[in-house]
Copies of this chain bind each other. A is one copy, B any other.
Amino acid sequence: MSDYGQAFALMRDAAAGPWRDYTRHAFVEGMKDGTLPRAAFLHYLRQDYLFLVHFSRAWALAVVKSETHSEMLAAVATVNALVTEEMQLHIGICEAEGISGDELFATAERAENLAYTRFVIEAGYSGDLADLLAALVPCVMGYGEIGTRLAGEATSETYRDWIDTYAGEEYQSACRAVGKLLDQALTRRIGADFAASPRWERLCRTFRIATELEASFWQMGLTP
């Protein structure tokens, strides 16, 4: 089992059904056994590039909302990794598939994509760092769990590169760092017993909605 911190584990358990729908979605299982059509994967990749643009903006907002030097450092590292590495990775994969950078930039944002990213950013603007992180972690940690599971269970090599990226130590280490940031941000703002706070229910609700929007994102991936 992944160890991405205490708060994440509690939030995930409070959204067990939606979490399963997300992390075991047909799109994911199709990457596992190689039955996912290439067209669906490429459609997903193009949308995921746009997603990363806004997800990077959301992590930059986490820098703005930081209250300590260590929160700031953790958030800056994530923004940097997203913008200078993960976005470049998508550009590279798409170019290898014959999708030019210009075509990628010009992709029209699908409603499911828009709904997810704007929900996250709005939660961040309207709340504090804890509210923002509750909306950010389902994406970060879900990909981490999916990568780890598929690295063990995959019966096809077709989507091996994607799986290796998220199962890899670099990504897993980022997940643990985000888990630590979440635990510390909640402890700083609410106290060590954060799950007993009146805020907890709302934070879990934010986490659950983001999880449901992740499942919708996979579903969109199946319908190019």
Contact = CB atoms under 8 A, between A and B. Distances in A.
A50 to B, nearest CB: 11
A114 B76 contact: no
A198 B209 contact: no
Interface centre among A56, A111, A131, A212 (most CB of B within 10 A): A111
A17 interface: no
Q: How many copies does the complex hold?
A: 4
Interface string A119-148: 101100111100100000000000000000
Contacts of A66: 57
A199 B76 CA distance: 23
A56 B83 contact: no
A76 B60 contact: yes
A65 B121 CA distance: 11
A108 B23 CA distance: 23
Interface residues of A, number: 47
Nearest to A62: B60
A47 interface: no
Contacts of A216: 111
A117 to B, nearest CB: 8
Contacts of A190: 190, 197-199
A105 interface: yes
Contact of A76 (B80, B131, B189, B202): B80
Contact of A118 (B53, B73, B118): B118
A170 to B, nearest CB: 18
Interface of A: 53, 56-58, 60-61, 63-67, 69, 72-73, 75-76, 79-80, 83-84, 87, 105, 111, 114-115, 118-119, 121-122, 125-128, 131, 187-191, 197-199, 202, 209, 212-213, 216
